[in-house]
Homo-oligomer: A and B are copies of this chain.
Amino acid sequence: MSESRNRAGVRLGIIGLGRGFMLTLPSLLAHPDITLFAACSSRSDARKRFEDDFGGIAYADYDAMLGNADVDAVYVATPHELHMEHTVAALEAGKCVLLEKPMAISLAQATVIVDASKTYGKTVIVGPSHSFDPAVGEALQLIKTGDFGKVKIVQSAYHTNFMYRPRRPEELDTKRGGGVIFSQGAHQFDIARMLAGGVGTSLVGQAGVWDASRHSETAYTGLIHFAGGAVANLTYSGNDFYDSDIELGSVSELGFPKNIDPGASRRMLSRLAGNDEANLKKIRSYQGLEVFRQSRAQTKNAEQNEHFGVWRVSLERADLMVFHDRIEVYHENGKYIHSVEGPAGATRRTVCDALVAAVNKDRTPLQIAEWAIGTLECCEAMIASSTDQQPVPLTLQTPVDGHPNLRF
């Protein structure tokens, strides 16, 4: 068994062959220590193609897949509202889990996951998430040097078309984990916590449904106060007006060259009728490797790192501007550029590395369930604060080891 694992690396079982899996697939394929070993999908065509493409075993029933002792780890990439059920089942079966963000759609569910992770002694990594993006990790390393003093203000304002991409109904229903807070706040709050030291003390903000036809929150703005003195100032808009990616040389969130076209997604949706939106979403799921490769043919694999917009970190003795490919450092002696290496075809390499290391018990990343519940707490706090404009105390927060704000 041990020998077998060494040969195959981490034998991954995937629950859910949808959009999340599609986005991570290139990095999984490129990783030398990960094998696409098994998958579970309710779509028979997806199962057939998974077996043909990867020689893996495809299941209609996730319990059957989890019963396969050769599966070393499970990637839960199902709709948000199913995360708890699938993650707990995988933990019970003794598997490490890579769990798509948001980890769950409520703190109650997230608590069950955290408890199950402890009970069964298996790590849950919540990702892929943009907190795994290389530039974010390197910004944290710069911060940890302590050369620039404590972090005081972390700023992010990311404007996208998020709410006007083709959506399934649950993606437009906040109670089911839809809207920008659960889907995108899960990235933004995660990164903010990493850079600001991790331990939020309160969140105050305002989210809103600006377009009733999209049902769920389309934008929010808010502050998170942190132990150690930092404040994160965060804005997200998924309204398809201004597009922040222009600030990153028109490189998309996924690392692809991009044609900036404000309102284009709104215009496309407005031309659709009836069930077309759900069908459009469906073809963004896994349709087989050939279809995948054709769809990517126009742009090739991502040549740039993924990102979540520009991050501005103001410390006592420097401002850092964090882009996908560089960190600009502004300080008393001028400006210098800290370059960030490109993805070499695997934009999600860091989270895949983290998964392999966790399975091999080499190291555990920051973004495990015990950490991620603090990020989900921020999502719920943003919703709660929006009702009465009052700060919501945060109590489920964990620190970033070695962060200068937490050295006393």
Contact = CB atoms under 8 A, between A and B. Distances in A.
Interface in A230-279: 231, 233, 235, 237, 239-243, 261-263, 266-267
A309 to B, nearest CB: 13
Contacts of A316: 210-211
Given A206-B225, A262-B330, A242 B319 contact: yes
Interface in A162-210: 201-202, 204-206, 208, 210
Contacts of A239: 314, 319
Task: Work out how many copies of this chain go into the complex.
Answer: 2
A331 B263 contact: yes
Nearest to A229: B208
Contacts of A205: 223, 231
A360 interface: no
B242 A321 contact: yes
A56 interface: no
A224 to B, nearest CB: 10
Pick from A201, A229, A332 the residue with the most CB of B within 10 Å.
A332
A291 to B, nearest CB: 31
Interface in A313-333: 314, 316, 318-319, 321, 328, 330-333
A335 interface: yes
Given A204-B223, A219-B314, 17 more contacts: A149-B210, A153-B206, A155-B157, A155-B235, A159-B319, A202-B389, A221-B231, A233-B233, A237-B319, A241-B332, A242-B319, A242-B328, A243-B330, A261-B334, A262-B331, A263-B330, A391-B391
B221 A223 contact: yes
Contacts of A321: 242
A333 to B, nearest CB: 6
Contacts of A282: none
B263 A332 contact: yes
A337 to B, nearest CB: 12
Interface residues of A, number: 50
Q: Summarize A's interface: helix, strand, loop or mixed.
A: strand
Contacts of A233: 157, 221, 233, 235
Contacts of A243: 330
A390 interface: yes
A224 B391 CA distance: 13
Pick from A229, A316, A328 the residue with the most CB of B within 10 Å.
A316
Interface in A130-163: 149, 152-153, 155, 157, 159
Given A231-B206, A237-B319, A389-B202, A335 B262 contact: yes
A339 to B, nearest CB: 18
A222 interface: yes
Contacts of A153: 206, 219, 221, 235, 237
A338 to B, nearest CB: 14
A312 B235 CA distance: 11
A330 B155 contact: no
Nearest to A148: B241
A13 to B, nearest CB: 42
Contacts of A149: 210
A394 to B, nearest CB: 12
